[in-house]
């Protein structure tokens, strides 16, 4: 996917860039790319004028880290009582192109099923909340997956900024173009990287970042079908349904099921 630097900066609003930390800018870029992939024809929209941008900035009520389900106005079909992960993909995460493309790359290149599942899940929490999405995502899925899957999801947020040539993961060239060559991740990200790099599960997380780089492709639609069996083998689907299962994160699933509830 080609990212137009000016179009990207325009979405941030007037003066927003100066107020953002480097980590926030990187997060914003990832959300922007996922958003562009999700919204068909989004790239064809005419660029906003200076006044329109200012207007948009003033109208902005949602915080930047708010999940997509809360910033979208699309009609949501009810979630069934005994909802499965597949139901959430179909009714809440769709079109989910980025995560489906990344899982598909893992599948096509013969990576372990655990990695395929981690790729499939790694950014879906952005429907709930975007800020610090690696950490939120890890928590959301922890009750239902092998510990290595949620661990990998947690640290992919930090690993994005650190190349590892042995796995073919290069520092995203786009970060240089958009944020400048002097970009420095925040201290907590640097610490998380150090910890993850030395951990025996390092590759669980690294492979998520590797597959991520193949998952911003325009016009590539992947369905959930090829992953149904893998989900069946590796995702502990609660019989009461996600959200009704009293797990430590059931409330997060309920929030995504009913994002319109006032309290």
Q: Interface residues with Fe ion (CB under 5 A)?
A: 123, 212
Cα(258)–Cα(129) distance, integer angstroms: 14
Q: How far is CA 11 from the centre of its chain?
A: 18
Joined tokens for residue 21: 């930390």
Q: Which of residues 23 and 123 has its CB atom nearest to Fe ion in the complex?
A: 123
**Minimum distance between the CB of residue 30 and Fe ion, rounded to whole angstroms?**
6
| Residue 242 CB partners (closer than 8 Å, separation 6+) | 83, 84, 85, 87, 88, 250, 253, 257
Q: How far is CA 205 from the centre of its chain?
A: 14
Dihedral sign from CA coordinates of 96, 97, 102, 103: positive
Dihedral sign from CA coordinates of 224, 167, 202, 110: positive
Q: How far is CA 118 from the centre of its chain?
A: 11
**Minimum distance between the CB of residue 38 and Fe ion, rounded to whole angstroms?**
12
Q: Which of residues 81 and 220 has its CB atom nearest to Fe ion in the complex?
A: 220
Chain position carrying tokens 């995504």 = 256
Q: Which of residues 56 and 111 has its CB atom nearest to Fe ion in the complex?
A: 111
**Minimum distance between the CB of residue 129 and Fe ion, rounded to whole angstroms?**
12
Q: Which of residues 123 and 204 has its CB atom nearest to Fe ion in the complex?
A: 123
Q: Is the peptide bond before 95 cis (omega within 30 degrees of 0)?
A: yes
Q: Which of residues 212 and 245 has its CB atom nearest to Fe ion in the complex?
A: 212
Q: Which has the closest alpha carbon to 89: 193, 197, 235, 195? A: 235
Q: Which has the closest alpha carbon to 119: 29, 206, 219, 229? A: 206
Cα(49)–Cα(46) distance, integer angstroms: 9
**Minimum distance between the CB of residue 123 and Fe ion, rounded to whole angstroms?**
4
Q: Which of residues 84 and 124 has its CB atom nearest to Fe ion in the complex?
A: 124
**Minimum distance between the CB of residue 122 and Fe ion, rounded to whole angstroms?**
6
**Minimum distance between the CB of residue 50 and Fe ion, rounded to whole angstroms?**
32
Q: Which of residues 53 and 129 has its CB atom nearest to Fe ion in the complex?
A: 129
Chain position carrying tokens 């349904």 = 241
**Minimum distance between the CB of residue 46 and Fe ion, rounded to whole angstroms?**
28
């Amino acid at each position: 996917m080609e990212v137009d630097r000016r179009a990207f900066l325009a979405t941030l609003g007037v003066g927003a860039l100066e107020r953002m930390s480097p980590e926030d800018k990187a997060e914003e870029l990832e959300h922007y790319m996922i958003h562009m992939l999700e919204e068909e024809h989004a790239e064809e929209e005419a660029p906003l004028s200076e006044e329109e941008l200012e207007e948009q900035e003033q109208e902005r009520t949602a915080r930047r880290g708010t999940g997509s389900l809360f910033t979208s106005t699309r009609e949501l079909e009810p979630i069934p009582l005994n909802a499965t992960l597949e139901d959430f993909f179909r009714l809440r995460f769709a079109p989910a192109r980025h995560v489906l493309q990344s899982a598909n790359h893992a599948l096509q290149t013969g990576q372990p099923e655990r990695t395929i599942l981690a790729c499939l899940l790694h950014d879906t929490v952005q429907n709930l909340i975007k800020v610090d999405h690696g950490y939120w995502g890890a928590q959301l899925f922890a009750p239902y997956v092998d510990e290595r899957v949620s661990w990998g999801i947690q640290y992919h947020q930090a690993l994005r900024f650190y190349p590892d040539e042995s796995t073919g993961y290069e520092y995203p060239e786009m970060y240089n173009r958009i944020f400048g060559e002097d970009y420095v991740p925040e201290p907590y990200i640097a610490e998380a990287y150090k910890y993850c790099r030395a951990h025996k599960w390092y590759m669980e997380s690294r492979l998520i970042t590797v597959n991520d780089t193949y998952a911003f492709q325009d016009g590539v639609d992947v369905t959930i079908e090829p992953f149904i069996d893998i989900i069946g083998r590796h995702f502990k689907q609660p019989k009461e349904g996600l959200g009704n299962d009293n797990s430590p994160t059931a409330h997060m699933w309920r929030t995504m099921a009913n994002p319109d509830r006032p309290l």
